[in-house]
Each structure stands twice: as C-alpha cells, then as structure tokens.
Amino acid sequence: MTDRVYINAVGADGNPLCMHVRDGRILTLGAEPPAAGAAQVTDLCGHLVLPGFVDGHIHLDKSFVGDRWRPHRPAASLRERLAIEKEELAAAPPIEGRADALIAQAAAFGTVAMRCHVDVDATTELSNLRAVMAAREKWRGIVDIELVAFPQAGVMSCPGTAQWLEAAVREGAEVVGGIDPSTLDGDAEGQLDCVFGIADRLGAKIDIHLHEPGEQGVDQISRIAARARALGLAGRVAISHAYALGDVGPRALEEVARKLADAGVAIMTNAPGDRAFPPVLALIEAGVRVFTGNDNIQDCWWPYGNGDMLQRAMLIGYRSGLYTDGELLTALRMASHAGAEVLGLEGYGLAPGNEATFVALPAPNGAAAVAAVPAQRLLFRKGEPVGDAVAAFGAVRPAA
C-alpha cells in the first residue's frame, strides 16, 4: 500500500487544500492536513491544484504538430479547402506519428482526456481511424481518447460514406459524426436519418459539426434536438460549433436553448476568432451543457493552437466577455468537468475515490489561472509526480 499526503495547496476556489492519496486514488480532501501516519508528505508550496483538462473537440489526424511548419494557404470555398487539405496531408508524415506528437504536447499541458474527430469517408475509408487508434493505444491509461467517425466531405454528397461511418463505429469509434446537413450535403433529412440511424442501431453517441448560419442553423439545431428527444438520447448528442446560436436575437436563442436543454443536447464551442459563436452564459443558465475544445491545431484550416486547454478556457472567457471570478470559473469548467460529462468519464475530478491525477500551477485560484494561463504545469498521475513535477516536488519527508 502506497500512501502520499499533499499539503499546502489551494483549490479552484482559492481555499486551502490538502489531499491524502492511497494506491493512486484520493482517500480524503480537506483544508487541514490529514493524519497521515507513515505516508510520504509533499508540500505543494501554495500551488493551485486542478483536475486534468478535457479537450472536447480535436482533430488528431489533421495537425502538422510533429512535422515542419506549413504556411497557411487561403481558400475561396469549403470544397477548395478540402482539396488543399488532401494535397497537404498526402505530402505529410504518417498520421500516427503526427497524432502521437500532438497527444504528447496536449498531455504536457495537463490534458487527460479528449474527443477526437477523425475523417471517415468513401476515399479515406478507415485508414485515418486506424492510424489514430494506433496512436491512442500508446497513450492508454494516460490520456483517454474518444473517437468520432467524422464525415468531413459530407454524407449524402459523398456516395459510400454512410457505410464507412457504420464500419467505423463497428471498428471502435464511440461517436458518429455529421456536418452541415443542408449547406454541405444538401439533404438534411437524409444525413440525419443516416447519423441517427447508426447511433440507434449500434448504441453510438452523436456529435455533429454545424456551421450553418442564422435562422437556417437554428432550424437545424431544433431538428437535431427533436430527433435526440424522440430517440431518448439525452446526454448522448452534441452539436459542435453551432455558430447560428451567436447570430440570432434573445427570443430565438431562448426558444432553441429550451429545446436543447429538454433534449439533453450539449453544445461545443472553441470561441473561433472570426465568427460569432454561442453565448455560453445564456445557454448554461438555460440548462444546456456547454463544453469546449481546441478544434484544429496548426493544420490546413488555420495555423493557430498548441493543445493547451487552459489557454482555450482563457480564449472562451476573453471572447465571451467573462470577467468575474465566477464567470472565469465557468470557462474553466467548460475545459474540464463539462467535457468530462459529455465524454462520460467515470471517476473524473478531485473527489474521494477518484484517481489522483491532477495539475499543479502557480496561481492563487482557478479564475486567476484562466486569466493569466501560467506556463508552468506540474503533473501528477495516480498520486505520483511525473516529468518536471519530480524535480519540483519529488522530494518528500516522512509524516510528523
């Protein structure tokens, strides 16, 4: 039996926090140091302790992290962007190595779980999925990776894709994806019949990219919520981006938010830099689960990103005008607990009985960490320091 006691930390609320860990799991949490007996005691020197971050939306098969820098190439349309991506990725190193490099980078920032959208269509078939699955296997037990079979090129407009989406779920993808049923596919009912049909038959979750604007996008969101409610899929359906929610007025937003909450459909936003996006506070107040992710990282879609979910929480707060401590903690929750709930992670968070995997940062509380995004991240997995944390906090003393 291995016992460790961590003292002199603070929690997200800024209050003192001490932790007793036994065999890699949290035994007790509290403001006062526990009676530790023969446990090793580690002084965290006033560091903020947070659970590991959750990236609710990432594309591991697209990123050039681990490869050379590739200047961004403008495109006049979505189809042109897809053609550029095909060309660039064909000349890039294999997916598995690039995915591995990005997972490693995200893990170093403190990410412990992610939902990864992987291109599946009639041309890629399952090649991207299998490459990312191989990279995922290397990180098993360190980073929990849920896979989405994502039809980037469309479902109805790319003949044969529907059968590959189903094959991907049978192969091990936990989520079936969709994308812009009207503006890309031109057949909203056909695409949603396919996506919801696969989920219903195979017990998969759903996550649909939706960039459609204004009232058209809101109508699409309502259509997705109605299907989720009819099939009893509360908690198993998400809409990524949902730009339309940032386009419409308060009355339309209130109406569609009620539909989302009633159906248990979650919204993912990464606070994109050049587009209106969902008003996170209004949605959360309406009872909608809102989470975040990095989305594309240094790929053909844009050159930005590094995999840091704390930075993503800052961008959510910055672009949403979140200033109070409570609001900043909402952004932090979107990058942690909210994503964990959507992914269905069991035993996530700082609570007795859960795995003692956490991040220590030099910040007085969670709000300050979101606002300033401290570069230093000290990682602890299953109660033990790893990486730089070994040098910083590896020295221990016996309990008094």
Taking only the tens place, the pLDDT of each residue in 315-337 is 999 999 999 999 999 999 999 99
Answer yes or no: 241 catalytic.
yes
pTM, rounded to two decimals: 0.96
- The string over 264-297, giving b where at least 16 C-beta atoms fall within 10 Å of a residue's C-beta and e elsewhere, is bbbbbbbbbeeeebbbbbebbebebbbbbbbbbb
- In what helix (H) or strand (E) does residue 338 lie, and over which residues does it extend? helix 337-343
- Closest residue by Cα to residue 337 from 83, 52, 141, 123: 52
Structure-token pair, residue 168? 């991907």
Q: Where in the chain is the domain with CATH 2.30.40.10?
A: 3-51+349-394
What's the rounded mean pLDDT across residues 329-355? 98
Question: Residue 399 — pLDDT band, cuts 50, 70, 90?
Answer: very low
In the CATH hierarchy, which fold is given to the domain comprising 53-343?
TIM Barrel (3.20.20)
Examine the pLDDT at 210 and tell me if it is beyond 50.
yes
CB-count exposure of residue 31 (10 Å: 0-12, 13-18, 19+): exposed
CATH class of the domain whose range is 3-51+349-394: mainly beta
Predicted local confidence at residue 400, as pLDDT: 47
Q: Where in the chain is the domain with CATH 3.20.20.140?
A: 53-343
For residue 328, what are the contacts with CB-CB under 8 A and spacing of at least 6? 317, 322, 366, 367, 370, 371
Examine the pLDDT at 291 and tell me if it is beyond 80.
yes
Predicted local confidence at residue 397, as pLDDT: 52
Catalytic residue among 20, 211, 241, 337: 241
Predicted local confidence at residue 395, as pLDDT: 52
Examine the pLDDT at 283 and tell me if it is beyond 90.
yes
